[in-house]
């Protein structure tokens, strides 16, 4: 399970060191491949095995539906396989770096079965919004569904 937040820097070539904790999870539970794609204002990285499960779910829906097609155009078309090198780095392609505005400071956010990759400025803003919303949902049914 991917959890926690880790700050790293991305170099000019688009290489970024995956947090050691996440590398350990990958090597223990998965192979060293990640599928990275567009998501919201960030990128999302799935272990290859989790991505295959996700694709199987997508196949169960008609691609003739407008919403499904839109989702595939956005989410699937950006999907790129990124391997982890011997130094624990992955190379983020230019189109994905541009989408997520990844230039220098980057935040990895564990999302249980996947990892979000954020520009630090965007993440700080998103986290502040989440903090405000969290205070609004305390005591609501949503938290009860999650077992809180």
In the predicted structure, residue 143 carries a pLDDT above the cut 70: no
* Per-residue model confidence (pLDDT) at position 63: 72
- Tens-place pLDDT, residues 122-139: 999 999 999 988 877 766
Estimate to the nearest angstrom the gap between the alpha carbon of 82 and the chain centroid. 13
Structure tokens at 82: 């990124």
**Beta carbons within 8 Å of 88's beta carbon, 6+ residues apart:** 17, 18, 20, 23
Structure tokens at 77: 């078309």
- Tens-place pLDDT, residues 26-41: 999 998 899 999 998 9
Report the share of the chain in percent with pLDDT over 70: 94
CA angle 6/118/94 to nearest 5° reads: 120
Q: Which architecture characterizes domain 5-119 according to CATH? A: 3-Layer(aba) Sandwich (3.40)
Give the residue from 121, 134, 127 showing the smallest Cα distance to 109: 127
5-37 burial code (b ≥16 CB/10 A, e <16): ebeeebeeebebbbbeebbebbeeeeebbbbbb
User: CA–CA separation, 64 vs 75, rounded Å?
Assistant: 16
Give the residue from 110, 123, 108 showing the smallest Cα distance to 7: 108
User: CA–CA separation, 109 vs 87, rounded Å?
Assistant: 20
In the predicted structure, residue 102 carries a pLDDT above the cut 90: yes
DSSP 8-state symbol, 74? I
What is the pTM for the complete model shown?
0.90
3-state SS class at 81: strand
- Tens-place pLDDT, residues 44-59: 999 999 999 998 988 8
């Amino acid at each position: 399970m991917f959890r926690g937040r880790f700050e790293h820097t991305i170099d000019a070539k688009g290489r970024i060191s995956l947090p050691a904790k996440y590398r350990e999870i990958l090597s223990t539970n998965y192979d060293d491949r990640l599928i990275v794609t567009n998501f919201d204002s960030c990128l999302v990285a799935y272990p290859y095995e989790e991505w295959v499960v996700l694709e199987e779910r997508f196949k169960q829906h008609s691609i003739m539906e407008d919403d499904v097609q839109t989702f595939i155009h956005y989410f699937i078309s950006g999907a790129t396989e990124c391997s982890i090198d011997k130094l624990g780095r992955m190379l983020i392609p230019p189109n994905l770096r541009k989408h997520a505005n990844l230039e220098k400071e980057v935040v990895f956010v564990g999302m249980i079965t996947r990892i979000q990759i954020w520009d630090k400025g965007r993440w700080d803003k998103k986290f502040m919004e989440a903090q405000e919303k969290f205070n609004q949902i305390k005591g609501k049914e949503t938290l009860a569904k999650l077992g809180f």
